Amino acid sequence: MKIALITGTSSGFGLLTALELAKKGYRVIATMRDPEKRHRLLELAEKSAADRIEVWRMDVTKEEEIDGARKKLEDAYGKLDVLINNAGYATGGFFSEIEVSEWEKQFQTNFFGTVRVTRAFLPLIRKNGGGKIINISSVSGFFGFPGLGPYTASKHALEGFSESLRLELAPENIWVSLVEPAAYATDIWEKGLKNFSPENRPKFQQRLIKMAMKAGKTGSDPTEVARLIGKICDEEKPGLRYPVGKGARSLYRWKALLPWRLVERAVLKKLDG
The structural domains of the chain, with segments of one domain joined by +, span 3-272
Looking only at the bridges linking them, the beta strands covering 131-136 and 3-6 are: unpaired
What is the phi/psi pair of residue 168, to 5°? -70, -40
Helix 112-127 with 63-76: angle, nearest 10 deg:
20
Span 240-253, average pLDDT = 91
pLDDT-derived band at 232, boundaries 50, 70, 90 = very high
| CATH (one of 1.10.3720.10, 2.60.40.60, 3.40.50.720, 3.10.450.40) for 3-272 | 3.40.50.720
Give burial (CB, 10 Å; 0-12/13-18/19+) of 227: middle
Question: What is the pLDDT at residue 97?
Answer: 87
- C-alpha 235/C-alpha 264 separation (Å) is 37
Q: pLDDT per residue over 152-174, tens digit each? A: 999 999 999 999 999 999 999 99
pTM for this model (two decimals): 0.91
Q: H or E element: which one contains 136?
A: strand 131-136
Catalytic residues: 151
In 10 A of CB 244, how many CB atoms?
19
End-to-end CA distance of the chain: 53
The whole-number pLDDT of residue 220 equals: 76
- 85's CB contacts (< 8 A; 6+ apart) are 7, 113, 114, 117, 118, 133, 134, 135, 136
d(CA 206, CA 224): 30
Q: pLDDT per residue over 102-135, tens digit each?
A: 999 999 999 999 999 999 999 999 999 999 999 9
